[in-house]
Chain A
């Protein structure tokens, strides 16, 4: 700038050049992601990505992390994470219609982790339920790697007419800059900088850096903004998130190639004595910044009044290209908007960490066959990583909006678009353990899993948003994990044709216990031409044929058990090099299952994932309330070849279980063609039976699976039904 910046100006750079806002370490890597596709209307660079659905409809969606705030103040951290992502979607002009949350916590045996888990779930519900956007899906996993550093990634999907898409770029010198929503306070000052540091003992003292959410104010803000847009009163719209007015105004100015003057004394405040820099970087929630033509200002402010929210002209669009902060007519600070929005970039060397060779050592011969498969299955179904999520999603309103076709608990949420036959499906997935054991393979497998989840409800996968949750990129191991996971994800997105259209990066997820597992989470959206043709995993009828298609499995293949749920839950080991994802097979298998659903051949499908075939089959039986009889000759073959463990509990991806009436068998075989498949049994009765290996009643399965996740491990647990 050619001079020493003053304190205000330094504050602006401090927040804007934090990793959270500036992506200093991740930007060069993110260029690897494909972000173009036939349906993509808006790729990265706006508040959210947008894809076309058909019939003039589009979906805006994005996922964002709120890990650090949730670690110190879990209720408000999670709640404001939900509020923030909703405003990103609103900024595109879309009505938010679906929320999902991807969560990670340390083991529930630790009291602090139980507290974080309980309060994060309460925070998500407390905000989402009140604001009236259904929480329709998500996922959660528990591992010591997340103790003290939970991951809270919130995703929102919004619905909009293609022609009504809004952008954030400020235009029209002389236009008014209008701040809508709540008053500005000292909450969330330097939140973005805090989010870009490691968590330490002192983090607790940063509780005051965490913002406080007000879903009622957000609800009114949503309705007000949507009406402002309907009446064509806005030139541009931008949410206020990390780094507050500074970030919003400089981004709006930079993308419009203009400047913005903020008259800081006009910003309505909820406390006295605030300095200009505090006003400029406050992260007070439930605010939006808009650009309005002068002759429409009165009308816009009247609408704000109708909805009972604040509406104040706080500045104007200027021709000078700077973000200029003016206080009582005096310039308090000036920085180039472009410069502010353009943080420096660090490129680092990618060096394979030594730990990988250590953890990948694994000899399947060390793993004896279980003596009692009944016991193994029950143990796995009751483990928090595989247990029913019902006790979580029962606390979320997942039906408001009356568009939820398939409720939480399925492979993906299915939503309809009112007034059309169309619909969409959405899923979030992450594979932290896999990414830890093999960053590149895990990155690709994460995308493939989301692709399978959409496919087995019958939706055509379209595009991806992601949260890249990693440790410190300033440490070689951390940077390697980040670079390799991104590479794997990029390869999978290319191979599967699902471009990345939005996302966010959360680095420095480390505590004194070390870094988290590298955990990129993927939110993927798919579309239906006719949402009536969807499938679920529940067995539907007695006597249906059950078929698996997942390629051939050879005897005693090390890699199938490597990094599996079985290995961690039953043997307490996180080890091995999991199978490399076969992206061509993933695509082929998913295409086949979608084709069968679309043509009405099948209505029951489930992908193979954590816990392998054994857990997947048990879930299908429990969901449908119908048992299973595994084919005796198949059981005999497994015994003969000595690979029962791999077949039943191995995890390799690229596979599905389907069920259908037997008279469709010829047609199913025709579709499957050369893809390896096995007919493995029939649905029916109320027992889950695999030869002499497993014989359990559905009630026994449910007693293990349906336990409340909010109980104290080891103590008497009830179902989530219990009242009183």
Chain B
């Protein structure tokens, strides 16, 4: 990692709207925030990538469906394949599913309404770069804000995710009808994580909670900082 700060990239698609919040939270983590513009096929030597929330490309077609074709996704997929730490938050999770970097899909909430709330989740797996700083079984209260957060996968995939310990976060109060109360999963290599809750929104004592930093700062633990 060299002597400098850990560089953490935040992708910016047209319609991303948590990009600035994520960049701010990276600063709160004690890392260096780096903007990754969608039209540039360049990860700018970052050590980890956050794909933030929002409505990339207006969520037209399906959430995340168009963003996966953006220029920045090429190098991002290469980075992920080489084991680079990537986390998709909310719309970012949807983008990573559409790009097949993560299994499953995020369907419309079963109650058919957008939901913005704080929900309790349990950390189910700590052997990922984004949860290494948490305690196994630890309960966190994290914000959610989505219309399509209802995780879906076929029975076989769900069984595999459970068997392989790839459910990273699980809702203690399910806000969207998600299968197996899944709030976050990781890929087979465990370096790519997708979660619906927004850790960047609880990364500042001024907003009443820093529980999100436990997730975000995990990547610094993994990076040996």
Contacts and interface: CB of A to CB of B under 8 A. Distances in A.
Interface stretch (B130-138, B187-195, B201-209): B201-209
A724 B110 contact: yes
Nearest to B24: A402
Interface string B106-134: 00011101111100000000000000000
B145 A402 contact: no
B25 A393 contact: no
Interface in A275-310: 306-308
Interface string A618-650: 000000000000000000000000000000000
A723 interface: yes
Contacts of A532: 206
Given A723-B175, A724-B110, A396 B55 contact: no
A5 to B, nearest CB: 41
A126 B173 CA distance: 24
Interface string B85-121: 0000000000000000000000001110111110000
Nearest to B198: A399
B113 A129 contact: no
Interface stretch (A213-221, A360-368, A372-380, A651-659): A213-221
Nearest to A95: B20
Nearest to B205: A532
Nearest to B37: A306
A130 B58 contact: yes
Nearest to B16: A132
Q: By DSSP majority rule, is chain B's interface helix, strand, loop, or mixed?
A: loop
Given A132-B54, A405-B207, A418-B24, A398 B116 contact: yes
A400 interface: yes
Nearest to B112: A122
A401 B177 contact: no
B45 to A, nearest CB: 23
B59 interface: yes
A308 B17 contact: no
A396 B206 contact: no
A249 B53 CA distance: 37
B198 A395 contact: no
Interface in B169-220: 173-177, 198, 200-201, 203-204, 206-208
A505 to B, nearest CB: 32
A308 B56 CA distance: 13
How extensive is the interface on chain B, given as a class? 35 or more
A220 B109 CA distance: 27
Given A215-B55, A416-B206, A531-B206, A308 B111 contact: no
Contacts of B145: 129, 397, 399-400
A131 interface: yes
A723 B110 contact: yes
A404 interface: yes
Interface string B50-62: 0001110111100
Given A215-B55, A723-B111, A400 B18 contact: yes
Contacts of B147: 129
Most chain-A Cβ atoms within 10 A of its Cβ — which of B39, B116, B117? B116
Contact of A402 (B21, B57, B114, B176): B21
B87 to A, nearest CB: 17
A1 interface: no
Given A216-B60, A723-B176, A402 B207 contact: yes
Contacts of B207: 402-405, 416
A684 interface: no
A722 interface: yes
A216 B116 contact: no
A400 B21 contact: yes
A416 B206 CA distance: 8
A401 B201 CA distance: 8
Interface in B14-44: 14-15, 17-18, 20-21, 24-25, 39
B143 to A, nearest CB: 5
A723 B17 CA distance: 27
A624 to B, nearest CB: 15
Interface string A122-163: 000110011110000000000000000000000000000000
B15 A401 contact: no
B223 to A, nearest CB: 24
B17 A131 contact: yes
Contact of B111 (A217, A399, A402, A724): A724
A396 B143 CA distance: 13
B204 A402 contact: yes
A216 B58 contact: yes
Given A129-B114, A393-B116, 18 more contacts: A126-B114, A129-B147, A130-B58, A132-B54, A132-B55, A215-B58, A306-B39, A394-B114, A395-B115, A396-B116, A397-B145, A398-B116, A399-B143, A416-B206, A418-B24, A531-B206, A723-B109, A724-B177
26 contacts: A129-B114, A129-B145, A129-B147, A131-B17, A132-B18, A216-B60, A219-B15, A393-B116, A394-B115, A395-B116, A397-B116, A399-B201, A400-B17, A401-B20, A401-B21, A402-B21, A402-B25, A402-B204, A403-B207, A405-B206, A721-B173, A722-B111, A723-B175, A723-B177, A724-B110, A724-B111
Which 9 A/B pairs are nearest by Cβ-Cβ distance?
A: A132-B17, A216-B58, A130-B55, A402-B21, A397-B145, A395-B114, A397-B116, A399-B201, A723-B177
